[in-house]
Amino acid sequence: MIRYVPERSTPGLPSAGEDTEVGLLFLHLGWL
């Protein structure tokens, strides 16, 4: 499942690590 961790992922920029793919996904959805 998709889990979003705002503590590790900065707004607009995904953190390098497990949240990279999730961050990119949310980033893409956010810029639609």
Segment 1-32, tens digit of pLDDT: 566 665 555 555 555 555 677 777 777 777 65
pLDDT of residue 29: 75
Residue 7 belongs to domain spanning: 1-32
pLDDT of residue 26: 76
Q: How many domains does the chain have?
A: 1
16-22: Cβ within 8 A, 24+ apart: none
CA atoms of 9 and 22, how far apart (whole Å): 9
